[in-house]
Structure 1
C-alpha cells in the first residue's frame, strides 16, 4: 500500500518529476499547484507528509505552514517538509519557528528528498518498520513516552513536532551530558547533514516553550555557552 504525500508546488514540471520518482519507492503524491488547492486537499484528506514550497503564487509558504499548524484535528500534526528556493537561512529559521519539521533548499536531488521524507516519517513512526523505543523517561512532572511519542507536563500533553520530540529524546536520554549542536544533529537525524546551527537553536526554543515553566529561564534544557546544550538530570 502506498504512503500518501501532498506536494504544494506551483512548478508542475518539478511536481511531476518528484511524483514519478517517489512512486517508485511506494509513495503516492497528490499535487496542488497553489496554496488554496493545497489547504483544501489537506482539509479533505490528511496525508502522511506535506512537501511545501516556500514561493507560491497565491500565498507565502510560511503562511501556509502557519495555517496548517493552526488547523483543527490531525491536519495540525502532519509533518511538513519545506522547500526553500534559495536556501536562505532566515527562510529556514522562520519555517522551523512556524512548525516545519525539515527543509530542503532548491535545487535538490530527488534521492535527497526521498531520504528526508523517510527520515521525517521514521521520526514520526510511520512506515519505518523499526520498533519504537521501549519505556518512558520521567523527570519530575515531565514524562516522555517513547512508545506513544507523547510528552506530558503535569499530565497535560506538550505540543511538539516529530523532529522536536526526537530532539528532546536525544537530550533526555543523555541527561547530564553536554552535547554540541553537531552531536545533537547526528543523534536526531542518524546521519550528518549541513551544520545549520540555528535550526537546533530554533527547535530548542520551541521545546522550552512547551516544557519549561519559564522558557527565558529554563531549568530542564540548559545552554552551555560556546558548546551546546545539556538536559538537566535533577528537575522540579
Structure 2
C-alpha cells in the first residue's frame, strides 16, 4: 500500500515543495484547505501521516479537528507554524501531536521525520481500523461564536482575536457574553448589573463602566473609538455585530 500524507494548507508553495520531496521518496500527498474535507479523507482513505499548517485555520478550529483526526490516523501528525506560544503548544501536546516545525521549513528534514515516526507507529499494533471508524464529516464547533476577527469559545470561557487568547477575567467574559447574547440592543447599566453580577445595588454603575473599559482595551483595535462595544449616551451600552 502506497504511503500517503494528508497536508492541510492554503499555501500552494507548501504543497508544491512537500509534494516534490514526497514523490522523490515514493510517497503521495493529498492536499486540502477545508477541515471537513480533511476529516472525510482520513475516514475514506489510508493516511500514513498528517502535516497541518496552523497558519491556514483559526487555532481553536485546528485543535478541534486535529483531536478527531488523532483518533483516526495511526501515524505521525506534524504541525507547521509561524508563531506558537507555550499555551498553544501545550494544547497540541495534550491531543498527542507528534512534532512541530517552524516556518520556513526544510521539507527534506520533514520527510525524514515523517518516515522515522511512521516506522515507529508501524511497530505498534493498531487496535483501530482507520477505514472502519465512523467519524463526523464536520467538526463540532457549535460552541464557537465568531464575529469577524473575534471568536468566543463557550466551552473554555475564552475570547480569541485572530487566534490569540485575550485572557479575559471570568467577570469580563461573563459581561462580554451577556452583551453578545443581546446584539444591537441598548442595555442600561442596571440591566448589566443584574444580568452579569446578579444584583442591583444603587451607586455601583461605575463597576460596569470599569469592566467595559477593560473589555475595550482587550477587544477593540482602538478602545477610544470602539466598533464592538459602543456607548449610548444617557442610556448605557450596545454590542454592535454589524
TM tier, shorter chain?
0.3 to 0.5
TM-score by length of 1: 0.47
Higher RCO, Cα 8 Å, sep 6+: 2
The structure whose Rg is larger is 2
